[in-house]
Every structure is written in structure tokens, then in C-alpha cells.
Structure 1
Amino acid sequence: MTSIKQFQVTFDCADPERVARFWCEVLGYVVPPAPEGFDTWEAYKRSLPPGEPLSGFVCSDPTGVGPRMYFQRVPEGKAVKNRVHLDVRVGTGLVGEERLAALESECARLLPLGAVRGQLLLADDENESCLNMQDIEGNEFCLD
């Protein structure tokens, strides 16, 4: 049986570069260098035919530990809730007020980037507190 060592997370979106750069800020990821022969991504974009925007954009974990993230342009907008979402683990090991403070602090950092705050789900008998959020194109994710 083959053992899978790596995977990437792919997002459908309207503006791949914008969404990728948002997630770089959220996760501390980086944008790879521009394609060979171009000093910058702006120079590469200027080389594309008029009216043809980037069809995809990538960001990756600079440590190589986290998954590569690929953002691909699709013509349709988001219509329903995500079937898969990311949990951004900012409260791991924390409970009670300390966990809530960590979630709120990260939420406050992400709001100026264009994130949208959702519902705070308080701890119960089975789960710790988490905070539902949306990225700049409405994709759901959780601060966990």
C-alpha cells in the first residue's frame, strides 16, 4: 500500500492571488518566487494577454511542514456552505477564559485583513470553544 506523504489544499475562488495572500497572512505562509524569467509577480502578470488574469496562485509553509495551498479561479461564486474547512489552531491546549482570549485576539488580528467574524461556539461537555470565521471570499474556517 502506498503511503501519502504530502497533500495540498485547493480553494475555488474568484481572485486567486488576493485569497492566497490573505491566507499567507493568516498562516504565516509565503508566496513562492515569480516564474523563471520574471523578477516579480507583477512583471509576470503584465506578460499575460490583455484581460487574462492569473488562473491560479500558490502559497506554502516556509518550514515545509504544512500543506501547500493552491487557489484556482472558477467562474461561479460561492453558493453554499463549505463541505471542508480549515481549523486554524490558535487555542491548542488552552481552556476556559484563556482559550477565549486567544480566539478573540486572533480574530482581532484577522478582521483588518478582510476576515469576517462568525459565531462563537462556547465549550460544552465534548468540545472546547471555537470561533467561526469567513475569509475574504466567504469561505468558512474556524479559529480553534
Structure 2
Amino acid sequence: MPSIKQFQVTFDCAEPERVARFWCEVLGYVVPPPPEGFATWDDYESSRSPEDRGSWFACSDPSGVGPRLYFQRVPEGKVVKNRVHLDVRVGTGLVGEERLAVLEAECARLVALGAVRVRLLPADDENESCIGMQDIEGNEFCID
């Protein structure tokens, strides 16, 4: 059986384009070109039925290494903790105060974009420090 080489991560949300653009800023991702036959995303959205407009949006890693992120509109709001979350790896290889300084700087950048800091999870005998956060619609993620 062949192994899977690519995957995408899908987010349920209320405002797909808004959340996708937030994650573009977080990860350095880009909005892909509009579907074939459309000069702009606005042209594409205008061609859709009113109830389908704004129902999804996506972003991708410009280097092609990271997974595509897909955001789909759902009618219900978020009510419980995510079962899966993203870890944004900014402190890889760093320890102690140097790691905390990098995590705090990234946290401040993301809070300015609309993220919410939840808590610092300090280093212990097994794990380095990380910061739990929420995106602009409350989806949990960590900076580690």
C-alpha cells in the first residue's frame, strides 16, 4: 500500500476567509490563486449562490512543505476543546530563558493579530516550555 505524501488540515469556523488570513500571518502562508477562469477571489465569490458565498477559504505554504489549511463555514460555534491542535514551532532547539524569550516575542506578535494567550506551560522534567493560545475564533494552538 502506498504511503500518503500530502494532507490538509481543516478548520470549522464562522468566517473562513478571516480565519485563513489570520493563519497566513501566523505561518507565513499565502492565499492560492483563485479557481481557474476567475481573475480574482471576488469574481469567484460573485459567481456563487448567495448562500454559498464565503463558505470556504484556504491557504498554503509557499514553499510547498507544510500542509494546506482549509477553512469551512459551519453553523454552530465552538463549544468544547479541540481534539487536535497545531503546534507552531518557533523555539525548536532552544532551552531555558532563551526559549522563553522567543516564545514570548512570538506570543506578543500573535496577540497583536487577534490571538489570545491562554497560559504558559513551564518546562518540566520531560518537556520544554510552550504557550497555549487561541486563534481569532477560539481554536486552540500552542507556540513551542
Instruction: Give the TM-score taking structure 1 as reference length.
Output: 0.95
Same amino acid, percent of matched pairs: 80
What is the match of residue 14 of structure 1? 14
Offset of residue 57 of structure 1: 0.9
For structure 1, which runs of at least 5 residues remain unmatched after alignment? Answer: none
Aligned length: 144
What is the match of residue 103 of structure 1? 103
Measured against aligned partners, the alpha-carbon deviations of 1:116-136 in whole angstroms (never above 9, x if no partner) come to 111001101011000000001
Measured against aligned partners, the alpha-carbon deviations of 1:18-67 in whole angstroms (never above 9, x if no partner) come to 11111111001111011222222122222333354222111111111101
Q: Residues 40-55 of structure 1: matches in 2 within 5 Å?
A: 40-55=40-55
Cα RMSD (Å) of the superposition? Answer: 1.1
Amino acid at match of 2:60: S
Secondary structure of the residue aligned to 1:117 is strand
For structure 2, which runs of at least 5 residues remain unmatched after alignment? Answer: none
What is the match of residue 93 of structure 2? 93
> CA–CA distance in 2 between the matches of 1:79 and 1:134?
13
Measured against aligned partners, the alpha-carbon deviations of 1:44-94 in whole angstroms (never above 9, x if no partner) come to 222333354222111111111101111111111101000000000000000
> CA–CA distance in 1 between the matches of 2:95 and 2:107?
17
Q: Residues 127-142 of structure 1: matches in 2 within 5 Å?
A: 127-142=127-142
| Residue 113, structure 1, aligned to residue 113, structure 2 | yes
Superposition misfits of 4+ residues, deviation over 6 angstroms: none
Q: Residues 21-36 of structure 1: matches in 2 within 5 Å?
A: 21-36=21-36
What is the match of residue 124 of structure 1? 124
> CA–CA distance in 2 between the matches of 1:70 and 1:49?
20
Amino acid at match of 1:26: V
Contact 2:46 2:53 in 1 (8 A): no
Amino acid at match of 2:3: S
Contact 2:9 2:69 in 1 (8 A): yes
Deviates more, 1:30-39 or 1:6-15: 30-39
> CA–CA distance in 2 between the matches of 1:75 and 1:90?
33
